[in-house]
């Protein structure tokens, strides 16, 4: 999902799901408050759909849901350094997709270099596109549209007090879905990745 909306104590919440930016953790906090789930629960799109939570524009970018977001009382977005986000998306594609063997096909090694070189083909896969898209694609170019927008590393510092202010309840802190090790890049690799993600550097999402 790209935009999820629901009410907590008559406050309309709008959250733009930006993959690889603590989105699973944030969705877990919503599930704790809405459906009394545990901090270990890993939420997924259909879970919310089946419980009547609104979502819009599963595979679309910001322009698809901008007006709906503007109608929310609280508008939440999280972002991540573009290069870190891209590499985390690569790690997701490498290890976590159920059909990753088909995705990689005849590629001899699942290296970052192979992923970068073949990215024009890999990004046609919806899961790769979702997880390696720019922050701008999901959040738009203007952070002022959000009431709460933050680097993903500040998720707990922002979300836990905010949700308690709205509901009077505490969520139990969690941290879900960490992948692999940090990468060191060659100059050429870093240059190519930043070219893929150029609009984030124009719009200040770093």
pLDDT tens track for 108-129: 688 899 899 999 988 888 888 8
Q: How far is C-alpha 1 from the chain's CA centre?
A: 10
| Mean of all residue pLDDT scores within the chain | 91
Identify the sign of the CA torsion 161, 171, 9, 3: positive
Q: Give me the numbers of helices (H) and strands (E) for the chain, helices first please.
A: 12, 5
Q: What is the pLDDT of residue 1?
A: 58
Burial of 159 (0-12, 13-18, 19+ CB in 10 A): buried
- pLDDT digit string (tens) for 135-185? 999 999 999 999 999 999 999 999 999 999 999 999 999 977 665 556 788
Among the residue ranges 65-74, 128-137, 146-155, the one predicted with the least confidence is 128-137
How many angstroms separate the CA atoms of 11 and 44, rounded? 23
The verdict on pTM exceeding 0.85 is yes
Mean pLDDT (whole number) for 32-56? 93
Among the residue ranges 54-63, 67-76, 102-111, 192-201, the one predicted with the least confidence is 102-111
Q: Residue 100 — very low, low, confident or very high, per pLDDT cuts 50/70/90?
A: confident
How many angstroms separate the CA atoms of 206 and 200, rounded? 7
């Amino acid at each position: 999902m790209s935009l999820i909306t629901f009410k907590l104590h008559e406050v309309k919440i709008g959250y733009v799901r930006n993959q690889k930016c603590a989105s699973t953790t944030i969705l877990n906090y919503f599930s704790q408050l809405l459906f009394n789930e545990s901090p270990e629960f890993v939420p997924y799109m259909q879970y919310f759909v089946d419980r009547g939570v609104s979502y819009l524009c599963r595979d679309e970018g910001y322009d698809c849901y901008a007006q709906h977001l503007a109608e929310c009382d609280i508008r939440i977005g999280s972002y991540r350094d573009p290069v870190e986000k891209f590499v985390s998306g690569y790690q997701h594609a490498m290890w976590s997709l159920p059909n990753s063997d088909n995705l990689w096909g005849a590629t001899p090694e699942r290296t970052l270099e192979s992923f970068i070189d073949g990215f024009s083909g890999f990004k046609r896969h919806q899961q790769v596109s979702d997880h390696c898209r720019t922050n701008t694609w999901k959040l738009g170019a203007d952070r002022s549209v959000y009431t709460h927008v933050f680097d993903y590393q500040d998720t707990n510092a922002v979300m836990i007090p905010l949700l308690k202010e709205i509901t009077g309840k505490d969520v139990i802190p969690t941290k879900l879905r960490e992948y692999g090790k940090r990468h060191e890049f060659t100059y050429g690799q870093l240059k190519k990745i930043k070219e893929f993600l150029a609009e984030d550097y124009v719009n200040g999402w770093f």
